[in-house]
Structure 1
Amino acid sequence: MANIGIVIPAAGQGKRMGAGYNKQFLMLMEKPILAHTVRLFEESDFVSEIVIVGAEGDISVIKELVYYQEFHKVAAVCIGGVLRQDSVRAGVRALSPTIQRIVVHDGARPLLTLQAFHKFLEESREYSAAIMGVPIKDTVKRVDIAGKVLDTLPRDYLRAVQTPQIFDREILEEAHQQAASAGYYGTDDASLLEWMGHPVQMVEGMQENIKVTTPEDLLLAERILTQRR
């Protein structure tokens, strides 16, 4: 499982957070959110290389963070695109040619543990594409554009998708190339493979692996880290 490359899209501005700047620079337990996220992969023996993708105006800040946090596995900090999909494509291109197994992980998911990450790698090693997800707790209903309920979806077959997501490099690059040519944009990288008709395996995730999107999420993340300590 060694020689894994990590792509961390961190170009989103996080308007729902209301901070007025990239939410991944917000402080979480005295460190920027992004620092927590990168630290996990820096400490993994299975990770050879990390690429962080940021907005053009954030590149210098990210490079400073990498320097002062002593993230030696960060091989590149590159400029992202308009949408997340464009940013991931740029990050994949920035990885060394020797990297043939790629993990994509949101910069704003700082609560993934090393144990959960390594378990994910082990359980996904036989698949060319695998994603992490957790069972849905709430009842989910499908509605029309006017809000009228159409039907209730069976929870047993539903998962809330998280990152990390892992792919063989060849199939991920092919999916991004075909999507770019067709002008297709998916909600995550796995959806590009689904669009191509390529199988994607779901692997059990962890409920604490939340994406910090709102001020309430930040408070929850602080509480989770406090409990861990």
Structure 2
Amino acid sequence: MRYEVVLPAAGSGKRMGAGQNKLFLNLADKPILVHTLLVFEQDENCTGIWIAVKDEERPFIRSLIEKYNIVKVKGMPTGGEERQHSVHSCIKEMNAVDVVLVHDAARPFITIPKINELAEVAYEKGAAIAGVRAKDTMKVVHNGLIKATVDRESLWMVQTPQAFRYEILAEAEDLAEKAGFLGTDEAMLVERLGHDIHIVECSYENVKMTTQEDLVFGEAILKQRK
């Protein structure tokens, strides 16, 4: 299934504490952003990459794209203060496609087979997101006190990519903007329109590079894969 992908890359990455966009930090021999871009560059079913960026970072990102010979980038619109705004800025510039994926630019370990599984499910059923089952015991806590223990069998930790038929995500983004509604992810915007979201079990390796500790995990994953 052919698709295009949106990568929000305009965040500050404060939790990384790097003093710069965390996507520019090296993981092994390449910036995190480049590792992510190369996955989609190498997938024959990906027909376009859209990157939401900060205006001042656009020249540097363009230099990375040229250095690593990434040819599928179709546009780099200006991102917003929130992830949702960044995604919407890309959706507005895209031509209609069958399936659009939204992926965290800081998740460089997603695999092509899993990407294609998500795209297929989204095309057939409308919406699909990657996730993994919760491994730890989950508690409900208020004011530092445990109020309940939640059955983890029904709990999933959501990842990306999140995949949608284009018209569904475009409508969800447009209506959220008009209503001033801010969701935590794209699936939440689609949920509020009454669409079913299908979960596709992914891998615990599909970790997001958020803190310094994640970089250590990332190096270990790369070493293992090599």
User: Shorter-chain TM-score: which interval?
Assistant: over 0.9
Map 1:31-180 to 2 at 5 A.
31-95=30-94, 97-144=95-142, 146-180=143-177
- Residue 223 (1) aligns with residue 220 (2): yes
User: How far is 1:32 from its partner?
Assistant: 0.5
Counterpart contact for 1:9–1:84, Cα < 8 Å: yes
Measure how far apart 1:118 and its partner are: 2.5
Q: How many residues align?
A: 226
One-letter code aligned to 1:91:
C
Q: Is the 8 A contact 2:96 2:166 kept in 1?
A: no
Gaps of at least 5 residues in structure 2 are none
Separation in 1, partners of 2:203, 2:31: 22
Moved more, 30-39 or 188-197: 188-197
- Most deviating of 193-202 and 24-33: 193-202
Is the aligned partner of 1:22 residue 2:24? Answer: no
| Cα distance per residue 1:168-197 (max 9 Å; x no partner) | 111101111111111111110001111222
* 1:124 and 1:203 in contact (8 A); partners too: no
The one-letter amino acid of 2:146's match is V
Q: 2:115 aligns to what SS in structure 1?
A: helix
- Distance in 1 of aligned mates of 2:98 and 2:123: 13
Contact 1:140 1:153 survives alignment (8 Å): yes
CA contact 1:53–1:87 (8 Å) conserved in 2: yes
- Residue 181 (structure 1) aligned to one of 171, 178, 183: 178
Q: Is the 8 A contact 2:99 2:122 kept in 1?
A: no
After TM superposition, the structure 1 = structure 2 runs for residues 201-220 of structure 1, keeping only pairs within 5 Å, are: 201-220=198-217
Q: Normalising by structure 1, report the TM-score.
A: 0.95
SS state of the match for residue 107, structure 2?
A: coil
Structure 1 gaps, min length 5 = none
Give 1:125 shift: 3.7
SS in 2 for 1:79: coil
Q: Distance in 2 between matches of 1:198 and 1:225?
A: 37
Tell me which moved more, 189-198 or 13-22.
189-198
Does the C-alpha gap of structure 1 residues 124 and 196 become closer, same or farther in structure 2, counting only changes over 3 Å?
closer
* TM-score scaled by length of structure 2: 0.96
User: CA contact under 8 A between 1:51 and 1:94: conserved in structure 2?
Assistant: no
Distance 2:98 2:81 in 1: 26
What is the letter of the counterpart of residue 5 of structure 1?
Answer: E
Deviation at 1:98, TM superposition (A): 4.2
